[in-house]
Amino acid sequence: MVHTLVDQHGRVATDLRVSLTDRCNLRCTYCMPPEGLDWMPTDEQLTDDEVVRLIGVAVQRLGVREVRFTGGEPLVRRGLVDIVRQVRALDAEVEMSITTNALGLAKTAHALAEAGLNRANVSLDTVRSEVFHEITRRDRFADVVEGLAAAEAAGLGPVKVNAVLLRGVNDDEAPELLAWCLDRGYQLRFIEQMPLDAQHGWDRASMVTADDILASLSAAYRLEPASEPRGSAPAELFHVDGGPATVGIIASVTRPFCGDCDRVRLTADGQVRNCLFARSESDLRDAMRAGATDDELADRWRAAMWGKLPGHGIDDPTFLQPDRPMSAIGG
């Protein structure tokens, strides 16, 4: 019998974000320090079979309909293609996508599509090679461009591009990024920078807000709010110059959408997080390794969701950033 992941505020989680690793081959300044982090020891990380088993519990017993692989950088996880194939074998309908920096995607896009992946979201904050180097601390802009094209060619579309704007670095680039994505048929979405970086460098006063982004885009394009209901989608969509092309803004900080949230997260070491900003987690890994049945794991998972807070409280003076940074939670 399928139960749902409902919380005490009536929200139902159907969208599972699975972090496959906390490691990454870039070092985006807003995400992690130049030297990287103390990576998770391998024995703490779920094995491929354990990841597939927990996704199976979510899809077959808890009503999850979308699975998004993320990290860290999910493409550095060796078993990725096989994990996708096994999840597809469990359920022919579940929507599967990946959020990736696209390094190496040129090589794996085809295999991922063949294994059953539906879509790719690629993070790209700039279309200027030197700015890419400055933000990611790696000179790999060309690889991302190639990865994006490969995703489109492999049928992992509509390809979405996620961009974070940073004051004084790329905050003048919104229209240029949009033109670049429109030319290639990619759907661009800007994400407001959130207090989730390992080095605690986020600053509310200097972050680039949805209002800033809309003002900057409006100087070059005619934007109209899309009339389609937004539902639980984090992005607020705007038609560009009369449509059908759109641009999205994910304004988690200045226009929070917690009331409509349908997301739940599983970390690479098997912890359920009911919110990006949660300050507590529920362990499924040790329960599974101690012999818990699928029904018992599903019970634990439901209990973990029930206590989801109504909002992230970033604007509350008592707000505390979670101990895990974004790269270890799974964005």
Summarize the annotated binding site for GTP as residue ranges. Answer: 17, 68, 99, 160, 263-265
Stretch that binds ligand SF4, among 28-36, 45-53, 187-195, 279-287 (CB under 6 A): 28-36
Q: How many angstroms separate the CA atoms of 229 and 104, rounded?
A: 35
Q: Are 108 and 32 in contact (CB under 8 A)?
A: no
Give residue 25's Cα distance to chain centre. 17
d(CA 68, CA 162): 14
> Binding site for S-adenosyl-L-methionine: which residues?
30, 72, 123, 194
Handedness of CA 221, 222, 225, 228 (dihedral sign): negative
> Smaller CB distance to ligand SF4: residue 24 or 261?
24
Alpha carbons 298 and 313: distance in angstroms, whole number: 28
Residue type, 231: G
31 binds ligand SAM (CB under 6 A): yes
Q: What, of ligand SAM, ligand SF4, none, does residue 86 touch, CB below 5 to 8 Å by kind?
A: none
Give the residue, chosen from 71, 147, 270, 322, that forms a contact with ligand SAM under the rule CB under 6 A: 71
- Quick one: three-class SS letters along 274-297? CCCCCCCCEECHHHHHCCCCHHHH
- Which of 24-32, 214-222, 264-272, 276-284 is the region at the interface with ligand SF4 (rule: CB under 6 A)? 24-32
CB of 308 to ligand SF4, least distance (A): 24
Ranges within 90-119 binding ligand SAM (CB under 6 A)? 99-101
- By a kind-dependent CB cut-off of 5 to 8 A, residue 196 interacts, out of ligand SAM, ligand SF4, none, with ligand SAM
- Interface stretch with ligand SF4, choices 46-54, 71-79, 239-247, 272-280 (CB under 6 A): 71-79
| Closest CA relative to residue 240, chosen from 175, 193, 192 | 175
**Is 197 near ligand SAM (CB under 6 A)?**
yes
Residue 26 sits in the site that holds ligand SF4 (CB under 6 A): yes
In angstroms, give the least distance from the CB of 303 to ligand SAM.
27
Residue nearest to ligand SAM (CB): 331
Distances from the Cα of 197 to the Cα of 225, 253, 255, 308, angstroms: 30, 14, 20, 22
Say if residues 75 and 117 touch (Cβ distance below 8 Å).
no
Task: Please select the residue that binds ligand SF4; options are 13, 16, 20, 28, rule is CB under 6 A.
Answer: 28
CB 49: neighbour CB atoms within 10 A? 12
Nearer to ligand SF4, 114 or 134 (CB): 134
**Nearest by Cα to 282 from 302, 258, 309, 260:** 302
Q: Minimum CB separation from ligand SF4 for residue 136, in Å?
A: 6
Q: How far apart are CA 125 and CA 127, in angstroms?
A: 7
Separation of alpha carbons 235 and 61, rounded Å? 28
Instruction: Pull the structure tokens for residue 220.
Output: 């070059």
Residue of the chain from 13, 16, 18, 32 that contacts ligand SF4 (CB under 6 A)? 32
Q: How far is the CB of 252 from ligand SAM (least distance, A)?
A: 7
Question: For the chain, give me the number of helices (H) and strands (E)?
Answer: 10, 14
32 binds, among ligand SAM, ligand SF4, none (CB under 5 to 8 A by kind): ligand SF4
Residue 104 contact partner, candidates ligand SAM, ligand SF4, none, CB within 5 to 8 A by sort of partner: none
Interface residue list for ligand SAM (CB under 6 A)? 24, 30-31, 70-71, 73, 99-101, 123, 162, 164, 191, 193-194, 196-197, 326-327, 331
Interface residue list for ligand SF4 (CB under 6 A)? 24, 26-28, 31-32, 71-73, 101, 123, 327
